[in-house]
Amino acid sequence: MWKIYALLTTAMLIWGLNLPLLKYLLLYVDPVTMTAFRLLLAGIAVFVILFGFKLVRLPTKVEWKYIVLGALLNVVLHHYFLNMGLFRTSGTNAGLILGTGPVLTAVSVSLLLRNYPSKIQWIGFVLGLVGVGSVVLAGGGSTGLAIGDVFVFISIMAQVLSFLVISKAAKTLDPRLLTAYMMVVGSIVLLIIAVIQEPGEVKAFAEVPRIFWLGFAASGIIGTAVGHMLYNYSVGKVGPAKAGIFINFNTMFSLMGSALFLGEIITSRHLIGLFIIIAGVILGSGAAEDLWKQRKKQKNPS
């Protein structure tokens, strides 16, 4: 179990550091076009990695249903509405809404899968939400509801529902292979949307500086391919609720990455929020309960 927690933390570190890199890339190419090609690169990269481990196979008809549904939710709807939302709302509002992800995941798992988190885990979910809120609010910004807020909420709900699909599909299909198929299928749909919504934007790739391609490769292969492969694999092992609480770490690592690479300032309010996030993840993931049970066994061996 602790190995999975380590994988989830690594995935959040990768996603968090990927955020400032994406901000740089979007200076040169519009969001839907950028996302489509980045996810296509990521999908191809995952296939290459899995082919090396001889894990690639054709899905069954039932597995294809999970792939298409997962691609529409996790790739198309999540990324499309997140990009559209970020253009129409403040970073503060977006961060607060995205911070509801673990709680929404826990509620969805309880209602749809009848897998109820413990009281300690619920406390962790709430603490994580409070921690994310304090970190985001420390950065200031507007708090009024906007259409962008609705788009961001649709984005996080689509992602939450996709975790349930991934959890179901993982019973027969390796989540890492599922990730590859989802990314390729989803990126093709996004490419069609990009051609309609951002016509001619593909030409922007011809005018970018050379260092752009280094960032694009790093974001697609490491930030997206490796990050999603680790996360979806973990969802298949521990379930969406336990894995979902680690999303709060995304806020923490994004803040650190922005401070390191974009020169943003970390205040005492940020540090307090980060401490609350860590406490929330430890409780919400079940790590605290696992540690307590291990110590209890050591004191009272059967």
Per the domain annotation, does 128 fall within a domain? yes
- pLDDT tens sequence across 56-109: 999 999 999 999 999 999 999 988 888 777 666 655 455 555 666 666 666 666
Token pair, residue 109, equals 């798992």
Neighbours of 89 (CB within 10 A): 24
pTM (predicted TM-score): 0.78
Distance, in Å, from the CA atom of 262 to the CA atom of 198, rounded to the nearest integer, reads 27
Residue 253: domain span: 2-291
pLDDT score for 119: 77
pLDDT score for 286: 66
Distance, in Å, from the CA atom of 40 to the CA atom of 140, rounded to the nearest integer, reads 35
pLDDT score for 172: 95
* Residue ranges in the chain whose pLDDT is less than 70: 86-117, 129, 132-146, 251, 258, 261-262, 264, 266, 270, 285-288, 290-291, 301-302
Per the domain annotation, does 40 fall within a domain? yes
Neighbours of 10 (CB within 10 A): 17
Specify the length of the chain in residues. Answer: 302
Count the domains in the chain.
Answer: 1
pLDDT score for 143: 47
Per the domain annotation, does 300 fall within a domain? no
Per the domain annotation, does 82 fall within a domain? yes
Per the domain annotation, does 296 fall within a domain? no
- Helical ranges in 138-267 per DSSP H: 147-169, 175-197, 210-217, 227-238, 240-244, 248-261
Per the domain annotation, does 278 fall within a domain? yes
Per the domain annotation, does 301 fall within a domain? no
Token pair, residue 287, equals 């790590």
Per the domain annotation, does 41 fall within a domain? yes
pLDDT score for 263: 73
pLDDT score for 113: 57
pLDDT score for 116: 65
Burial bucket for residue 288 (CB in 10 Å: 0-12, 13-18, 19+)? middle
pLDDT score for 159: 84
